[in-house]
Amino acid sequence: MRSLHLLASAALLSVAVGAHADNSAKLVQTGNDNDATVDQTGLLNEATIRQNGTANSGSIFQGVIAEENVASIVQIGSNSASIYQGDETRFSTASVYQQGTGNRAEVEQHWYTNELQISSIGDNNSISATQNGFARAEARQIGNGNSLVMTQDGIYHGNWTAVYQVGDENRASIEQGDGGDIQLAQNGNSNAAQIEQYGLRGELAFNQAGDDNLLAVEQSGRDNSFRGSSTGNSNSVELLQWFDGNQASVVQSGDDNIAAINQLAGYNEARINQVGMANQASITQNAELMNAVISQTGTGNMATVTQQ
């Protein structure tokens, strides 16, 4: 096993001259069982790890108080990657690309205006990312057994997340804070998404097309909105929204779909549209200025609307 550890602020460039240290580290490893770690402190750091082989591991740690840091890990093979950018990080970017079997990636970015791009191509991939205020994240997974867990915390700063999963047994769990925007698309077998938006002005647009999909959303703040679509086999959609100015819409076309919407106050409006066999729909709204529309066409449909 070959192991390489760089302390970029000291060993790499030996920069000790003032507050604006500009460290750069680039590691390229080819082969199996390699381990690379880059540790950087200060501002304006840049780190790149490229690994080609199997059972490789790469880690990038960038300072507790940091600004405009760049971290990138590219792995081809059954690799593992982790990036940590410190608690006071701002205006930093991180990217991970993995292709192969059994890949994992973990990214942490803290405080505000950080950006993350992440991608998995291959079997048994998993992504976990944690961001804080005014963060932007995009994730792409293609192929077998993928899983995504992402947490963004707004603290009155808007977050944006786009997740694309194509292929078998995908799962996604997303949690956001204030001003969050989520675009979710799942295409293919056994997908499930559990999304919770809390705080103010959260938006969600979802698209599921393919077998055994399930989406459960809770928006617990104010002025949240919901859109959607499900196309194909055994889909189920559940939504719960709380308080002012909520909107909701569900469109399903295909077998065995179930949709339920609960809006429990405020200026609510809900729509369910289902076309296809054995569909069920339920809308419950309890309070002011409510509006509900259910349209079902097909076999064995049921509809329940309760407004009070």
3-state helix, strand, coil in the chain (%, to 5): 0, 60, 40
Q: What residue type is 2 in one-letter code?
A: R
Q: What is the mean pLDDT of residues 208-231?
A: 89
Cα(first)–Cα(last) distance of the chain, in Å?
67
- Helix (H) or strand (E) run with residue 27 in it: strand 24-30
The torsion angles phi and psi of 296, rounded to 5 degrees, stand at -130, 135
Which residue, chain included where needed, has tokens 């944006």? 160
The per-residue pLDDT for 3 is 52
The residue-averaged pLDDT of 211-227 equals: 88
Integer-rounded Cα Rg, in Å, for the chain is 22
What is the rounded distance in angstroms from the CA atom of residue 268 to the CA atom of residue 50? 51
Count Cα atoms within 13 angstroms, Cβ side, for 55: 5
pLDDT of the residue at 86: 79
pLDDT tens column, 161-189: 999 999 989 999 999 887 788 999 999 99
Contact (Cβ atoms closer than 8 angstroms) between residue 66 and residue 47: no
156: pLDDT strictly greater than 70: no
- 223-239 mean pLDDT: 91
Nearest alpha-carbon partner for 151 in 114, 120, 196, 191: 196
Question: pLDDT tier at 155 (50, 70, 90 boundaries)?
Answer: low
% of the chain at pLDDT higher than 90: 52
Structure tokens at 113: 């205006």
Contact 248, 271 (CB under 8 A): yes
In the DSSP assignment, the letter for residue 169 is T
The DSSP secondary structure of 201-242, one letter per residue, reads S-EEEEEEESTT-EEEEEE-SBS-EE---EESSS-EEEEEE-
d(C-alpha 280, C-alpha 224), whole Å: 24
Per-residue pLDDT tens over the stretch 237-253: 999 988 888 899 999 99
Q: What is the mean pLDDT of the chain?
A: 86
Look up the pTM and report it.
0.85
| Whole-number Å distance between alpha carbons of 128 and 125 | 10
Average pLDDT over residues 94-112: 90
Q: How confident is the model at residue 35 (pLDDT cuts 50, 70, 90)?
A: very high
Residue 23 has pLDDT above 90, yes or no: no
Calculate mean pLDDT across residues 100-113. Answer: 87
In this predicted model, which residue has the larger pLDDT, 307 or 128? 128
